[in-house]
Amino acid sequence: MKIITKLSLLMCMVLITACSSTQSLQEYYIDNSENPNFLKLDVPTSVLNLADVDLSESEREAMQSLKKLNILAFKKTNENNVEYNAEKEVVKRILKNDKFNELMKFNFGGGNASVQYLGDDDAIDEVVIYGNSEEKGFALIRVLGDNMKPQHMMQLIKAIQKSNYKGEGLEQLGSFLK
């Protein structure tokens, strides 16, 4: 009976996603914000503790272009393997949309990740980081901003390294994926 229920759920999800093949990443976040398999976090840039840090002009410009981070994570368990595979396929389909420009792909211990962006090469509005581990699940991180520039990504990393930021605000994500 449990297998029939899971297969029915999978079929419904496939039919829903097939009918709505133009679902945006934002809609996907909203649609799954109440799903118990997901953890959703909206992280303001203030959590990065950069207000009192001595930043260069380019680091300050990079920080001003950043608005917030949206994080959506799916924790894989033995009980939700069917849902995990279905959700993973939905995300892959969304990220294959032509409006996303790929920056890079890489592998890490037991998983893989990609970094993509929306916008022009010289005015990025959103960076999307997708990481997937067959053991733990997947996470989608949307870095939202206004007219971010590719060189801003490195400046942001440098600015964060100067701060005393130690992952505050993301503890929930770490414990969720354990």
Using the predicted structure, report yes or no on whether residue 48 has a pLDDT greater than 90.
no
The whole-number average pLDDT for the span 2-25 is 54
- What was the pLDDT predicted at 168? 60
**pLDDT: is 55 or 100 the higher one?**
100
pLDDT band at 32 (very low <50, low <70, confident <90, very high): very high
pLDDT band for position 145 (cuts 50, 70, 90): confident
Q: By percentage, how much of the chain surpasses pLDDT 90?
A: 37
Contact 40, 71 (CB under 8 A): yes
Indicate the number of domains in the chain: 1
The pLDDT, as a whole number, for residue 175 is 58
Looking at this protein, which amino acid is placed at residue 4? I
Q: Which residues span the domain enclosing 134?
A: 2-176
Q: Is 134 buried (19+), middle (13-18) or exposed (0-12) by CB count in 10 A?
A: middle
Confidence of residue 138 (pLDDT cuts 50, 70, 90): very high
pLDDT at 150: 73
The overall average pLDDT reported for the chain is 80
pLDDT at 36: 93
In this model, does residue 18 exceed pLDDT 60? Answer: no
CB within 8 A of 134, min separation 6: which ones? 76, 110, 111
CB atoms within 10 A of CB 31: 14
**Dihedral sign from CA coordinates of 15, 21, 22, 26:** positive
